[in-house]
Amino acid sequence: YPLYTVTIGESGRIRTSFHTPTKQRRELAHPVKLEPFARPMYFQPRKQMSILSMFMNPMGLMMGVMFLMVFVLPKMMEGMDPEEMKKLQEEMKKNQADQ
């Protein structure tokens, strides 16, 4: 609501004035009708459910990475040359022996 001033004199006379944003004062006639500038928002609207938001949270990203490791990496290993596969196996054995 805007700023209103109600002044009651000694004689019982009532004066109502309205203060504008430019600091001007304007007298109002009686009865005074008060109207709000805008409707107050007491509640925040709830976020809408989205399928993308389910996958973009940390748990969804970890599940996606695990899915790739379980299903996609073995398929990639099948397409490798037998020589490269032997080299990788030897390196893995070497790394296990170092630990």
Least confident of 9-13, 33-37, 60-64, 89-93: 33-37
| pLDDT, position 1 | 60
Average pLDDT for 18-29 = 72
Average pLDDT estimate for 39-44: 85
Q: What percent of the chain has pLDDT over 90?
A: 5
Assess contact for 25 and 13: CB atoms under 8 A.
no
